[in-house]
Amino acid sequence: MTAIAAPRTASPGEMSHKQILTILAGLLLGMFLAALDQTIVSTAIRRIGDDLHGLSVQAWVTTAFLITSTITTPLYGKLSDIYGRKPFFLLAISIFVLGSAMCGLATNMYMLAGFRAFQGIGAGGLFSLALAIMADIVSPQQRPKYMGYFMAVFATSSVLGPVVGGFLSGQNAILGITGWRWIFYVNVPIGLLALIVVQKVLHLPPRNNPQRIDWWGAGLLVVGLVPLLIVAEQGRTWGWASPAALACYLIGLAGLLTWVWVEHTMGDAALIPIRLFRNRVFGVGSGLSFVVGVGMFGGIGSIPLYLQIVKGASPTKAGLLILPLVLGLMVSSMAAGFATSRTGRYRKFPIIGSVLLIGAMSMLATVHADTSLLVTDLYMLVFGVGLGLSMQTVQLAMQNSVSPRDIGVATSSGTFFRQMGGTLGTAVFLSILFSTAPSKIASAYSTASGTTAFKQAVAAHPDQLKTVTGGSGSLNDTSFISGLDKTIAHPFLVGFSNAMDLVFIVGAIVLVVAFVLALLLKEIPLRQVSGIQAANAEAAKTSVTSSSET
């Protein structure tokens, strides 16, 4: 007679697949808010600036959000390790929703920048805490299957942001409210739904890890990063060697050096404990997150400019044209996730991913004004596959390498370093682009001036050449290109495209560092239990040890 196996009893802290998916819905809603907001404003900022009569200070709207969201990320991670994830995730959503509503009420650009800064305080916790909560409830072995959903949300929002932003800002009014204000108001119902879902379905054991709060570290991180983030955003306008830029460098460097010293003295209570960097996987993973951030945001920031300026796509259409990149990211991240869950092996994915990123950047450097969009789409697909193989795997490796009590710090650190790399990459790449474009454009016109077709076009439209070379044609506003004769406009597009070639070459060189770091990433066997289960086991072991000593 065949014995009937007894049903497996779930260990304390273990959740069913259905429970995980229910919680995942709330986490994804919160993450969708932050991911969408990173791109939805970009296509509408010119319309917002015109409406609020402050186009000249539009950069501060982006800078304010970037500063607060970046700086609060590690703070959320540390505090959630001490007091628990759920209250801080709910707080982050609440601040973000309130900040969104306030942004919709702004009456001038400075007010909008202030409200965006407040909104960013909430955004800083949405990414990192969602991933940290997943680490609490799902084992590293099974987590990659679910992290694919996060990558899908991130990728989808990257496309939806410009499309939705362009559509809403293009409407004079919706329900009697100016169209661009709905860019912020749309966050309110989504955020309220996320609050309700998270409050109802997310049940995590309470945490009670009494510990000093590293307020000095938090303050010095502000002193160190704010000047550097400001100069990264404003340096191209000020001049990288201007007195204001130099002052930012000095203040930022002094702040960061002092911060490292304070973190060392604070020990385990530090915002990001220095001991974690002695962990090879955490140290290498942090560096890899930073470098991939440079390449990711540099590429994502540059490709739409090529599509809009060189190919003449509207911001909305440019968002749709990035679909191959998004598709590559989604498919590769999910495929890597299922493979990792099945085999427990993950080190090869960031190695392959970095190779693909280098290859994609190198191929994008060959794209010119007359290159078919089909070819460009193929290169973007490769770029997306490289990102998908790299991003979630590095995050998983960092989470798996630390103690359960440090999962929040490890998760927020990965997000933090990726954001910092993205900020630097965007600033450097765009600076290279706009500093070399004038000479490249001038060279293209010099080459074209000897052709018969160009001479005939200039003779037919003598004022148009002056528009390009005489001053009214500016890289700050390239809308004039659409009004030019195609033959006269073509050298401008060739020159701008040639300037982008240098950007992608530099990006490929930077990503070689990512390949080297990926080779150094040590593969540690993935834990078979969730963060909650591991923490329970660790607490039980400590209790037994204490009892035996007594």
Nearest CA among 352, 415, 337, 339 for reference residue 385 = 352
Total Cβ atoms within 10 A of residue 337: 26
Rounded CA-CA distance 116/103 in Å is 7
pTM: 0.83
- Contact in structure between 433 and 500 (CB atoms under 8 Å): yes
For the stretch 510-545, pLDDT in tens is 999 999 999 999 888 888 777 777 766 766 665 555
User: Do 146 and 40 lie in a common domain?
Assistant: yes
Positive or negative torsion for Cα 281, 422, 267, 271: negative
User: Do 319 and 448 lie in a common domain?
Assistant: yes
User: Do 32 and 114 lie in a common domain?
Assistant: yes
3-state secondary structure of 532: helix
Structure tokens given for 547: 């009892």
- 327: in domain: yes
Structure tokens given for 366: 């060959």
Residue 97, pLDDT score: 94
Residue 119, pLDDT score: 93
Rounded CA-CA distance 336/446 in Å is 49
User: Do 115 and 251 lie in a common domain?
Assistant: no
Residue 78: Cβ-neighbour burial (10 angstroms; 0-12, 13-18, 19+): buried
Rounded CA-CA distance 178/51 in Å is 9
CA 472 vs CA 442, 465, 469, 480: distances in Å: 15, 10, 8, 8
Please state the domain count of the chain.
3
CA 155 vs CA 162, 361, 439: distances in Å: 12, 19, 35
User: Do 174 and 228 lie in a common domain?
Assistant: no
- 306: in domain: yes
User: Do 234 and 353 lie in a common domain?
Assistant: no
Rounded CA-CA distance 84/125 in Å is 13
CA 398 vs CA 76, 276, 281, 285, 449: distances in Å: 17, 10, 6, 6, 56
User: 3-state SS of the chain: helix, strand, coil percent to 5?
Assistant: 80, 0, 20
Give residues with Cβ within 8 angstroms of 343, minimum separation 6: none
For the stretch 249-258, pLDDT in tens is 999 999 999 9
- 61: in domain: yes
Rounded CA-CA distance 486/120 in Å is 43
Structure tokens given for 318: 């440019």
Rounded CA-CA distance 397/389 in Å is 13
Rounded CA-CA distance 414/417 in Å is 5
- Contact in structure between 541 and 388 (CB atoms under 8 Å): no
Give the DSSP letter string of 257-315. Answer: HHHHHHHHHHGGGSSS-GGGGGSHHHHHHHHHHHHHHHHHHHHHHHHHHIIIIIS---H
Residue 82, pLDDT score: 86
- 547: in domain: no
Backbone angles phi, psi at 43, to 5 degrees: -80, -10
Residue ending a domain, among 214, 233, 256, is 214
User: Do 252 and 281 lie in a common domain?
Assistant: no
User: Do 307 and 328 lie in a common domain?
Assistant: yes
User: Do 425 and 374 lie in a common domain?
Assistant: yes
Q: Whole domain around residue 187: which residue ranges? A: 15-214
Give residues with Cβ within 8 angstroms of 432, minimum separation 6: 499, 502, 503, 506
- 541: in domain: no
For the stretch 356-382, pLDDT in tens is 999 999 999 998 888 888 999 999 999
CATH code for position 461: 1.20.1250.20
Residue 5, pLDDT score: 42
- 535: in domain: no
Q: What is the dihedral of CA 532, 130, 345, 391, to 10 degrees?
A: -160
- Count Cβ neighbours within 10 Å for each residue of 83-112 and write b for 16 or more, e otherwise: bbbbebbbbbbebbbbbbbbbbebeebeeb
Residue ending a domain, among 236, 270, 304, is 270
User: Do 131 and 222 lie in a common domain?
Assistant: no
User: Do 167 and 308 lie in a common domain?
Assistant: no
Residue ending a domain, among 181, 214, 247, is 214
User: Do 20 and 130 lie in a common domain?
Assistant: yes
- 195: in domain: yes
| Ranges under pLDDT 70 in the chain | 1-15, 43, 46, 54-59, 208-210, 315, 464-480, 482, 535-536, 538-550
Calculate ∠ Cα 268-270-273, nearest 5°: 65
CA 306 vs CA 32, 106, 326, 371, 503: distances in Å: 26, 32, 17, 11, 11
**Strand 177-178, strand 173-174: pairing:** antiparallel
- 209: in domain: yes
